[in-house]
Chains A and B, each alone.
Chain A
Amino acid sequence: MNFDDSPEEAAYRLKVRAWIAANKPDLSVLGPEDRVWTEPHKDLATRWQVIKAASGYACIGWPTAWGGSGGTAIEEAIFNQEEQTAGLRFSYFVTGLHMLLPAVLKFNDDDASRALVPPAVRGDTIWCQLFSEPAGGSDSAGLRTRAVEDGDDWIVTGQKVWNSGAQIADYGMVVTRTDPTVPKHKGLTAFWLRMDTPGVEVRPIKMMSGDAELNEVFLSDVRISDSQRVGAVGDGWAVIIFTLMNERAALGSGSGLSWRELIAMARNTPAGEGSAMDDPAFREWLADYYVDAEAIRLQTFRNLSALSKGEAPGPEGSAGKLLWANGAQDLSSRAVDLQDRFGLIDDPELAVANGAFHHRLLWAPGLRLGGGTDEIMKNIIAERVLGLPGEPRVDKTVPFKDIPSGR
């Protein structure tokens, strides 16, 4: 066990740190309300992606055949850490580059798939995940969007929902039901598609935080070529699992406000003769928070070690996702309370930290749902890691069309 950089890693870290410092875009152009999913924020993220791609830092760990730089997973992680420290970790390209395109290439490694990669690496294209449906979120095999074969094409009809970034995405991966007469996990098939394909309609959903991340996507007689199929007909479940594991590993790696920002805020919040930092109860809570947050950070090293040995992210990633999402809710709740009555104010012009903690408080409930809910994460840990028996299932062996749905 060794958490220190090796001499080569340390040299690489210094190199990329210097490169980031020399090439980073000016973050101060963003106002307090230019948050993720706003135009200025996305533009800045895109500019950074272009800069990285030009120097081979956009997809460090990918093989060169896929349009990456052929570096190691450790190098990529070092770069990510340095990027994070510089405040430059953006999520727009993660769905494509770290969840969906790896699946496209793994399950359908042809020329057309490979051609999708360079523009995504360059920041020209954004991807979205079209999995969840009104009747199937946790139950991600319970999808009803139909795909019916028509010559060399498929005709896809149905509704997707909670699709992050669909409003700005150029491509999506959609999972459909191709056979409702077999048990649910067996009748699914995945495709990639362009979001401007006729019949695709994106309607934004306003979130409780006021943000515009999520969408509904309606698919009406959308014609998709069989060459865009990802994996075999009926193999969609394997594609879903592959991308969800990557997603949970990525989510669990933790980002956003941390104990650092909280301590900075507490030191500036008066209490008694001193600051809120003097409150022993707060200090104890902070210690508990820290060990969780640190575990998430360190877990990424363990994941890396596994990755560098060629192992795929496993169900253990669920623990990190649980800790991270609940930690974010606790942290923002504490931070707002610490301000006492003044904590009511969330106007970015007046609020402490430009309202970042308030925004987080309103965003955090979504973190406990997206990428798999708390309850599903716990079921995974209990059943897949600890080997406990599953709940009695009524939906596994019967044809999909016969599963109870309450309507």
Chain B
Amino acid sequence: MNFDFTDDQKSLKEEARRFLTDASPLSAARGVLEGEGDGYDARLWARIVEQGWCGAAIPETYGGYAMGYVELCALAEELGRAISPVPFASSVYQFAESLMLGGSEAQKQALLPGVVTGEMVGTVATTEGPGEIAAGRINARVANGRLSGTKLPVVDGLAATHAVVLAQGDDGPGLYIADLVSDGVMREAVATIDPSRGAARLTFDDVPVEPLGAGDGIALLARIEERAAVMIAFEQIGGADRCLEMARDYALERYAFGRQIGSYQAIKHKLADVFTRNAVARSNAYYAAWALSTDSGELPVAAAAARVAASSAYWLASKEAIQVFGGIGVTWEADNHLFYRRARHLQLVLGSPSTWKRRLVDRLEGRLAAGELA
């Protein structure tokens, strides 16, 4: 047992941090937030693609580098720290995982190499309105292999070339692969809580699509998102740790009443609470990364636990960092809000924490009912 990154994984992480410190300063996220680019930083994206990171967990047969999921998680943590404004999560954790889990051999052959080279950017289009995803509320329809309907918000909907779309088919909800650069696809940017991760409204008018996998699309989507949740948890932890560091540094530097504010127990205990939540998230996320990398039956529980813990850690860290900064923290100019926004983005993007909490406990219950001991 080694409940930590290996030395190789650590050096990959260090290298990624060095690279992102230079290539993805916070000004990159801010630039996109303030309206540069189509909801992402195209130059930064090209450089990240060049690193080969998109292929970290993709098998060599499909053009990937098959380093492994723990390695991908290590990269995710660094991307999360840098709040990089790129479609990595959509394309790699969601779209590529959809293909690997549900795609036919031909689909994998056709699309995965493009994800690795960045020639293709994928996303997943699930949502149409408020509330959790449910079979009865999906209005997008596929008939005779053609999709019509509207999806919003679709994260990276402007950057993407392809999307996995949740739509009603003849046998209920299913997943379909759509080429977004085809006729009949209309895309409009929509404003979101985190504009550094652009989103769009996608309207499909009789667009040819291919089914992805068979059977219940909502169940398949849940399995895809379970996998994505592990990587997203690492992004959340990266961001939460960065918030903690920023707040710690500021608490050392700022004086009030003739003392460093970090000398007040109110501030010390606040930061210690954030540290504790981050540690809880990290433990759960490591376990989930292991479960994902070994195809363990633990994954459904571990992934949900990681997501729940990482979502609350990031929320706490991002809001309390603002609190430590005082007035400066609520300005547009300070970087705090970039993290506060990203925390909310990540906690909603695969569905809200309450959905995952329920899922987690359902699974725990199911496990006991099945007579498992652990």
Contact = CB atoms under 8 A, between A and B. Distances in A.
Contact of B332 (A139, A206, A272, A358): A206
A206 B333 CA distance: 7
A286 interface: no
Nearest to B259: A394
Given A344-B192, A345-B192, A361-B193, A369 B326 contact: yes
Nearest to A392: B259
A344 B266 contact: no
B39 interface: no
A315 B192 CA distance: 40
Interface stretch (A95-103, A115-123, A253-261, A398-406): A398-406
A378 interface: yes
A309 interface: no
B337 A375 contact: no
* Residue in A135, A207, A343, A405 with the greatest tally of chain B CB atoms within 10 Å: A343
A207 B330 contact: yes
B340 interface: yes
Interface stretch (A55-63, A77-85, A168-176, A332-340): A332-340
A284 to B, nearest CB: 12
A329 B319 contact: yes
Given A208-B334, A269-B130, A337 B353 contact: yes
A179 interface: no
Interface in B131-154: 131-134, 137, 152-153
B94 interface: no
A132 B190 CA distance: 38
Nearest to B337: A208
A37 to B, nearest CB: 14
A365 B344 CA distance: 14
A350 B152 contact: yes
A346 B191 contact: yes
A199 interface: no
Contacts of B353: 337
- The interface size bin for chain A is 35 or more
Interface in B324-343: 326-327, 329-334, 336-337, 340-341
B258 A341 contact: no
Nearest to A275: B131
Contact of A336 (B193, B266, B330, B351): B193
B107 interface: no
B296 interface: no
B132 A340 contact: yes
A338 B152 CA distance: 16
Contacts of A362: 193, 337, 340-341
18 contacts: A208-B322, A281-B354, A336-B348, A337-B353, A340-B348, A340-B352, A341-B349, A342-B129, A343-B130, A346-B192, A352-B130, A362-B341, A365-B323, A373-B326, A375-B267, A379-B266, A404-B258, A405-B255
Interface of B: 126-134, 137, 152-153, 155, 190-194, 199, 253-260, 264, 266-267, 270, 315, 319, 322-323, 326-327, 329-334, 336-337, 340-341, 344-345, 347-355, 357
Interface of A: 132, 135-139, 142, 161-162, 205-210, 214, 268-272, 276, 279, 281-282, 329, 333, 336-347, 350, 352, 358, 361-362, 365-366, 368-370, 373-375, 378-379, 391, 393-395, 403-406
